[in-house]
Amino acid sequence: MANLISDQKIRNAQAESNHYQPTGLGELNPRLIISKAHGANLYDTELREYIDFSHTEAHILGHAPERVTSALETVINNGLNQGLATTGETTLVKLIQQVVPSAEQVHLTSSGHKAAVGAIRQALAFTGRKRIIKFKGANHGKFSHLGIPDEFAQLALNLPFNDEVAVFEAFELFKNEIASVIVEPVLTGVGVVLPQEGFLQFLRTITAKHKSLLIFDEKVTGFRPKAGGAQEYFNVFPDVTILGNILGGGYSIGAFAGRRDVLSVKSSAENTERHIDPLAIAAGTAILQRLRLPQFYEPLNHKSRDFIFWLNELTQNRGIQINAFQSMFTLYFNENKVTDFASANRSDRKRYERFSRKAFEQGVLFPQSQFGTNFISSAHLPQDLSKTLDVVYRIIKNI
């Protein structure tokens, strides 16, 4: 029998919430109301278990790992409050500097969103220029939502990912007007889209040539393939790096880090947000202390490679493309390879949504959207991955 919460229970939960708060439960997942999360699993209000690939972006150690919950308990018992300075901030910053190759200095923020704001504003201030190159399908958030002045947002150039010619022509056309190129080293706004060989190095070379800044948005890829993120994996190092909630294990925190001369320039990124939630600081410290230990990534990436191999075997000749980057992957219901926003957008969204729904009914939680990214954590056990493959096999035979 399908593991579904009745539509009536969903409506009742939403109605009760609407009574007490104007937005209700907000963007409520219509399939699931969570009562517990632990390891690789989510549990609904009736304690039915779901293997979670959809909500583990920030949980590379899985949900509620003991080392993180212990760190949080210490903070709570010490009565630390947000807004007060703690030595924990310096401890976390030093850890970031030790693992992120390009991080000479680090500016902590209360979210990845604010880190993106800070990085872009820092680039505008450092260069004194107004134009920014970004890429279609990237997960930076809309510029209008990033707090970037309209004057600059209107001058942003939105180019196809993996298109060196488009970037070259933009620099030829605008030359000394471009402050920065901001890029996700692996595109995640439309699922997992890998950079073509040489693309990131091309961006590094052309920005250096024109004295523009290269910004890597690693809110998703930060600490994911290696402790040093995608920049360490690809051996291409930006001027500024954006980090997001994986830094705090799901607690709201972010950072932008990079060259000392860039971050030391006064900009509108300077704000009254002086101190970060001690819970996020404690969680981030506990996580990074684990990630920097030898032999963390090899087991995670090894089981991810094996899982992706068998997933590819199961989906061959069925109109499904698997794009994967170490422990991240997307199933595109698409006859052709996905290399950018345009090719991702040609995927069969309705077919994917049927697949996702059926997987959920059998206890496996993939993103609802075709453009979502799946994440494997160190808490996913062999039996979790084996069950997931069985579920996928049963479903794709019939859709």
pLDDT in tens, 78-92: 887 767 778 899 999
The reply to whether 50 falls in a domain is yes
Residue where a domain stops, chosen among 258, 291, 324: 291
C-alpha span between 93 and 210 (Å, rounded): 30
Q: Which of 265, 232, 121, 253 is nearest to 182 (CA)?
A: 121
Phi, psi of 199 (to 5 degrees): -65, -45
The yes-or-no verdict on residue 145 having pLDDT over 80 is no
Question: Do 247 and 303 sit in the same domain of this protein?
Answer: no
Q: What is the mean pLDDT of the chain?
A: 90
C-alpha span between 66 and 64 (Å, rounded): 6
The reply to whether 190 falls in a domain is yes
The reply to whether 1 falls in a domain is no
pTM: 0.91
Question: Do 277 and 310 sit in the same domain of this protein?
Answer: no
Question: Do 55 and 103 sit in the same domain of this protein?
Answer: no
Residue where a domain stops, chosen among 238, 272, 291: 291
The yes-or-no verdict on residue 147 having pLDDT over 90 is no
What are the tens digits of pLDDT across the range 333-353?
999 999 999 999 999 999 999
Question: Do 176 and 161 sit in the same domain of this protein?
Answer: yes
Question: Do 127 and 231 sit in the same domain of this protein?
Answer: yes
Question: Do 245 and 303 sit in the same domain of this protein?
Answer: no
What are the tens digits of pLDDT across the range 243-265?
998 898 889 999 999 999 999 99
Report the CATH number at residue 374.
Answer: 3.90.1150.10
Specify burial of residue 387 (Cβ count, 10 A radius: 0-12, 13-18, 19+).
Answer: middle
3-state secondary structure of 109: strand
Q: Which of 321, 358, 357 is nearest to 337 (CA)?
A: 321
pLDDT in the model for residue 313: 96
3-state secondary structure of 174: helix
Report the CATH number at residue 129.
Answer: 3.40.640.10
Report, in angstroms and rounded to the nearest whole number, the Rg of the chain calculated over CA atoms: 21
Q: Which of 243, 245, 271, 240 is nearest to 258 (CA)?
A: 240
Domain hosting 94: range is: 66-291
C-alpha span between 177 and 115 (Å, rounded): 23
Contact 95, 310 (CB under 8 A): no
User: Which residue type, as a one-letter code, is found at position 82?
Assistant: Q
Per-residue confidence band for 97, with pLDDT thresholds at 50, 70 and 90: very high
Question: Do 50 and 113 sit in the same domain of this protein?
Answer: no
Query: What string of DSSP letters covers 67-101?
Result: HHHHHHHHHHHHT--TTS--THHHHHHHHHHHHST
Specify burial of residue 121 (Cβ count, 10 A radius: 0-12, 13-18, 19+).
Answer: buried
Question: Do 120 and 172 sit in the same domain of this protein?
Answer: yes
The reply to whether 20 falls in a domain is yes
The contacts of residue 150 (CB under 8 Å, 6+ apart) are: 144
The reply to whether 2 falls in a domain is no
Question: Do 222 and 316 sit in the same domain of this protein?
Answer: no
Mean pLDDT across 36-58: 92
Q: Which of 321, 303, 308 is nearest to 380 (CA)?
A: 303
C-alpha span between 24 and 15 (Å, rounded): 8
C-alpha span between 241 and 233 (Å, rounded): 14
The tally of domains found in the chain comes to 2
Per the structure block, which two tokens stand in for 217? 């948005």
The reply to whether 133 falls in a domain is yes
Question: Do 164 and 232 sit in the same domain of this protein?
Answer: yes
Question: Do 312 and 198 sit in the same domain of this protein?
Answer: no
Residue where a domain stops, chosen among 247, 275, 291: 291
The reply to whether 75 falls in a domain is yes
In 261-341 the beta strands, taken as DSSP E runs, fall at 321-325, 328-332
What are the tens digits of pLDDT across the range 265-305?
987 655 546 678 899 999 999 999 999 998 999 999 999 99
Of how many residues is the chain composed?
399
Question: Do 181 and 261 sit in the same domain of this protein?
Answer: yes
3-state secondary structure of 133: strand
C-alpha span between 189 and 315 (Å, rounded): 23
Contact 129, 178 (CB under 8 A): yes
The reply to whether 219 falls in a domain is yes
